[in-house]
Structure 1
C-alpha cells in the first residue's frame, strides 16, 4: 500500500466516511498557506486521528492531490485520513458487520493494494477516486488478490451479474446441415440397348419414350446375317456346339433366343430382343426397317425404383458430414411429404466457382413419385457416431487467440480453463481437451468474468513486476 505524505494544518473535523470495502476515512479542511508553519503539529495530530492519505476537492470533483491546495475561490481541499481503530467501533449499524470487524480488529488487518476501475477496465489508482460516471473505484485488499486469472465474486455480485452454470456432459454432438439438392438417375440402374453386329430391325413393339416396361418384355425383332450363320452352326448336329453358343453370346443374342435355336434345331428369321430390366423408356431410337450398326443405341431404359440425389455441400461443412449419415429430404413439388436416405458418396473434388462438393444420397422411390431433376432440400444428420464431452455453446469464449471456458470452483470462485474444441452443434460444442464430464461451467455472464480475469492477470503481473524491482 502506498501512503501519501502528511501536509497541512488541521482546521476542523468535517465528515467521517466509511463504506463497504473501503478503509474508514476522516476528512479535514487544510490550508495550503499554513503548511510550512504547522508541519509538526499536523504530524502529531496524524498519529492521534489517523494518517493523511490524500486531499480531495471540496465539491466532490474527481480531483485528488498528495499535497494541500486551495481552489480558485480560496476554499481548502479536504484532507482524507485513515480512521483510527477506536472510531470504527462507532461505525453506522447499516454497514456489514464483517467489514467493520475486519477494519477494527488489529489481528486481521486488511491492507489495500490499489483501487481498480468498477467497469473492469485496466486502469488502477493508488488512492480512491471516481470514474467519469461518478462510480467509486473498487479497493483490492491484500487478502483478496487472486494472484493470477482466477476470479472471486461475492454472493451479491453473483446475483447482480447473472452468472449461470451448467454441467459438462457426454452427448452426440452435431447439427443439421441443410443444403439444396437435385434428384437424378441411379447410374447403376440404366441400360442401353444396342447391337454388336450389323442388323436389320424388322419390327418394334408399341413402346415409346416415358412408357413403363417390365423385364422380359419384347422391344423389337431383328435379323443379322452373322448371327444367322452362327446359329446354323449351333443347330447343326455334330458341330462344335459349345463354340457356336459362345459365339452367339458374344454377338449379343439373348439367352432365350439361344435356347430356342437349341430346341428347334433351326434359326428363326427374326430374333426377338427382350428388355433386360424393369424401368422407364428414356429414349427410343429403333425404327422398323432401319439398318443398325454395331454400337448404335436403340433404347435407353432406367429403373427408377431407386434414385440418387446430388446435394451441393459447402466446403466448410465437409468435416461435419460422413458417408452413411442419415438424410431427410423434402421436395418442393411434393409439400408435406418427407423422404429418407443415406449418403453413399462424397465426391473427391470441390467446385472452383461455388466452393461446394457434390454429395450423393441414395433414395428409394418405390411408388415412383420422385422424378428426375426435381429440386429438393436435404437435411443431413451431422452428429458424431460416439458420445463425447460437450458443453453448451454459450460456455465457450473464443477470443481469436485462445478458446476457454470458466469453471465454477464453488464459493464464488471461477477459474478460466483453455480448451480444445471439436465438432460444433446447434446448441452444444465438443471439448476434446481441457475439461471433463461433470465439471461445472459458466454459461451466462462469462464475458464479464473474462474481463475480470484479464484484469486480475494484468494486475498480478504488474504487482509482481513492482515487487521484483
Structure 2
C-alpha cells in the first residue's frame, strides 16, 4: 500500500506545481473559473487506474501518450502526468484560444487593455557623431598678381574676419605698370577729346577700357580703379580683401615672401553653418530620407537643443561597423557650436518614409501586446458585451515596429481592445488548462515543465553545471563518448538553435515580454527533440542532462518578469545548448556564430546568433555591441566554418 501511494504521490505533486504556475488557481478561490483551474487535471488517484480511460503524458514530451499511469516516458524516463479531459477544460470546445475569468481574477492577473488606434507611426532614431566644417563654405584667399608680401593684417589663425576686411598688402611691379598704362591712356583720351579724328578717339577710348579691365583682372575692384583715376597717382601696393566672413584656419605666407599668381595666402571657413556627421545602423536606414528635421544636443550645452535637417545619406556602408554616414546641416549663427564637438541627434521618422509601405494613418497597437513566435504574431482581444472578462486569441499580420508601437496590417479593427499587459499570463493559463494557446494551437498538455526530482536537480545545477558541460563539450573525448548522432537528431538540434534566435534578439532588444514568448517557443522546439534515435545509454543520458538544464533555464526566463533574472536564466540555457550543439552536431540551419561577452558576472558568457554583428543578450542596449564572434559553427553558403 505504501509503494502504491508513493507512485501516486509524484503525479499529484506535478499537477499541483503545474496548476500553481502563476498563482492563478490559488487566488481564484470563490470564482467560477477557480474551479476550472483547480480541477483542470485529474490525478491517477481521481481516475482510479487505466481501466477508467485516463490518458497520461510526459510534461517534457507531450507527444507521448499512455493509458498506464506507472509507465515512464520512453524518451527521458520521467513519470507521466494525466492529460486533462474536455470536461475538465471548460470552454475547450472553441477552435480559438479563449479564456473567460472573473473581474477579480483579471485584476489579480494585472491584465490591461488598450484600444486599437489609428494614427501616424513615429519612430525615434538615435544618432551619434561629430560636428565638422561645411565643406561648401571654405574659401582660399589667393594672390591675383605676382609680388612681395609687405604686410599681413591678420598674422595668426583663429581670427574672425568680415567680408571686405583687408588681409594683406602686396608690392607688384606688374601692378605698377598696369596702373601707369591706364593713366597714360586716360591722358591721351583727354587730349584727343576736342581734336582728332573720330577713329583715333574711339581707339583711345577702347585702350582706356582695356587698361581698366587689366587692373580688375589683377585683383582691383571697380572702386579701387575709380580711386586711381581720381588721384591720378600710381599706387605701388595692392590690398587683398577677405572675400567672405569667417574664421582664419591657416596662414600660408609670411611678410617678405614672394608669391606667384594664384598662390594661397589664407584659408577661411564660414562657421555660420556646420555639418554634423552622424552614424546610423543599416537596420534603421529605411526610416531616413533627406530633408527630415533633426534635434541635436551637445555635452557642451546640457539642456539646450539645436535644430538641423538631413542633407545627405552616404550611399556606402562601413563594412566593419555596418553603419552609414548621415550628414545634417546645422545653423550656427551665434557661433556657439564648434567643429569637433560630439553631438547626439534624434530623428522622429514616420513609417511612410523611405519607401516603407505603411499608410499615413495606420492601425497601431502597443509593442507589448503581440506574442511573437517565429513568423506568427498573436494578440488577445477582449470580447465586448461579455458578462465576464473574456479574452480571445487573434492571429495578426504586423507591419513595422515604430518605437513603442506596432503597425497592424491585418487581423484587427479600430477600437478593439487588445491586451497590452498580461497577455503572457493569459496564454500561460490556457496552456495549464490544456486549452489551445499560442504555443500549442491544437491544445493538449502544457509545454514542458520539468517535474519532480528532475526539475529540482536542474534548478540546483546552476551555472556551474552548465559551465562544466560547455567546457568539456568541445573536447574530442567527450564527443567520442556520445558517438555520432543520427542526421534526424542533428536536424532537430538545428531547429532548436534556430528557435532560440528569437530569444537572443528579444533580450538584446530589452523586451522582457518578447523574451517570455520566445522562451516558450524555444521550449516547444526542445520538447520536439526525440532522443530515442540516439545509440547508446551514455548519449541519451548526456542529452537528458543537457535537456533538463535547457528546460530549467527556459522555464526561468518564462517565469521571470524582469530582464535581469531572465538573462541569468538564459545563460544556463545557452551554455547547455552550446554543449549540445558541440556534442551532437546540428544541420538544417543558416549561419550560426558562437559569440562571447567577457563581462557577464565577471566571466565569459556565450550565446549562439545568426549574424556576425554582435547583438549582446546579456546587456541589451546598454552594451549592445560588447563582445566578439569566438567561433563560426555553421558558415554562410560558400564559406567554411572556422574558429
Q: Indicate whether 1:440 and 2:417 are aligned.
A: yes
Alignment of 1:22-171 (within 5 A): 60=45, 64-66=49-51, 137-140=83-86, 144-146=91-93, 148=95, 150-156=96-102, 161-171=109-119
What pairs up with 1:197-208 in 2 under 5 angstroms? 197-208=145-156
2:335 counterpart residue number: 368
Q: Residues 129 and 443 of structure 1: is their aligned pair in 2 closer, same or farther, counting only changes over 3 Å?
A: farther
Q: Tell me: CA distance 1:198–1:138, structure 2 relative to 1, closer, same or farther (3 Å).
A: same
1:191 aligns with 2:175: no
1:214–1:456 Cα change, 3 Å: closer
Counterpart contact for 2:123–2:351, Cα < 8 Å: no
How far does residue 20 in structure 1 lie from its aligned partner after superposition? 5.8
Residue in 2 that maps onto 1:15: none
Q: What does residue 376 of structure 2 align with?
A: 402
Aligned residue in 1 for 2:165: 217
Other-structure match for 1:458: 442
Bigger proportion of residues as helix: 2
Contact 1:201 1:291 in 2 (8 A): yes
SS at match of 2:368: helix
Task: Tell me, yes or no, if the aligned pair for 1:56 and 1:64 is still in contact at 8 Å.
Answer: no
Shift of 1:186: 1.8
- Unaligned regions of 5+ residues in structure 2, if any? 1-33, 187-204, 353-359, 445-643
| C-alpha spacing 1:207/1:441, structure 2 compared with 1 (3 Å) | same
Correspondence 1:332 to 2:326: no
| Aligned-partner SS, 1:354 | coil
CA deviation string 1:185-224 (max 9, x = no partner): 1222221101244232222114421112222211111133
> Could you say if the C-alpha distance between residues 187 and 62 of structure 1 is closer, same or farther in structure 2, counting changes exceeding 3 Å?
farther
TM-score when scaled to structure 2? 0.48
**Aligned counterparts of 2:311 and 2:407: Cα–Cα separation in 1:** 26
SS at 1:458's partner residue?
coil
Distance in 1 between residues matched to 2:342 and 2:43, nearest whole Å: 75
Distance (Å, rounded) in 1 between the aligned partners of 2:408 and 2:418: 12
SS at match of 1:317: helix
- The CA distance in 2 between the partners of 1:133 and 1:159, in whole Å, is 35
Matched residue SS, 1:344: strand
The 1:228–1:169 alpha-carbon spacing in structure 2 relative to 1, beyond 3 Å, is: farther
Would you identify which runs of 4 or more consecutive aligned residues in structure 1 move more than 6 Å? 114-121, 124-136
Q: CA deviation at 1:286?
A: 2.9
In 2 relative to 1, CA 56–268 (structure 1 residues): closer, same or farther, beyond 3 Å?
A: closer
- The alignment status of 1:390 with 2:364, answered yes or no, reads yes
Following TM superposition, by how much is the alpha carbon of 1:161 offset from its aligned partner in structure 2, in angstroms? 4.8
> How many pairs are equivalent?
362
Selected match of 2:314 from 347, 369, 373? 347
Partner Cα separation in structure 1 for residue 166 and residue 43 of structure 2: 109
Contact 1:147 1:457 in 2 (8 A): no
Partners of 1:123 and 1:269 in 2: how far apart? 104
Task: Kindly indicate whether the alpha-carbon contact (under 8 Å) linking 2:56 and 2:80 is maintained by their aligned counterparts in 1.
Answer: no
User: CA 1:201/1:64 → structure 2, altered by over 3 Å: closer, same or farther?
Assistant: same
Matches of 1:146 and 1:248, distance apart in 2? 100
CA contact (8 A) 1:409 1:415 kept: no
Q: For the structure 1 residues 244 and 409, does the alpha-carbon distance in structure 2 shift closer, same or farther, using more than 3 Å as the test? A: farther
The structure with higher relative contact order (CA 8 Å, sep 6+) is: 1
Corresponding position: 1:358 with 2:358: no
Q: State the SS of the aligned residue for 1:140.
A: coil
* Residue 416 (structure 1) aligns with: 394
Look up the match of 1:45.
none
Displacement of 1:398 after TM fit?
2.4
Q: Secondary structure at the residue paired with 1:239?
A: helix
The 10-residue stretch of structure 1 (269-278 or 249-258) with the greater mean CA deviation from structure 2: 249-258
Corresponding residue for residue 13 of structure 1: none
C-alpha contact (below 8 Å) 2:124/2:348 kept by paired residues = yes
Distance 1:20-1:127 versus aligned 2 partners, 3 A rule = farther
1:173-184 to 2 correspondence within 5 Å?
A: 173-184=121-132
- In structure 2, C-alpha distance between the alignment counterparts of 1:318 and 1:424, rounded to whole Å: 14
Across the aligned residues of Structure 1 and Structure 2, the Cα RMSD in angstroms comes to 4.1
Question: Which residue in the other structure is 2:486 paired with?
Answer: none
Structure 1: any 5+ residue segments left out of the alignment? Answer: 1-18, 25-54, 67-78, 81-113, 461-469
Distance in 2 (CA, whole Å) between partners of 1:434 and 1:256 is: 76
- Richer in strand (by share): 1
Provide closer, same or farther for how the CA distance between residues 435 and 56 of structure 1 changes in structure 2, counting only shifts above 3 A.
Answer: closer
Residue deviations 1:262-286 (CA, integer Å, cap 9, x gap): 5445552111111122222111123
Whether the 8 Å CA contact 2:437–2:443 is kept in 1: the answer is no
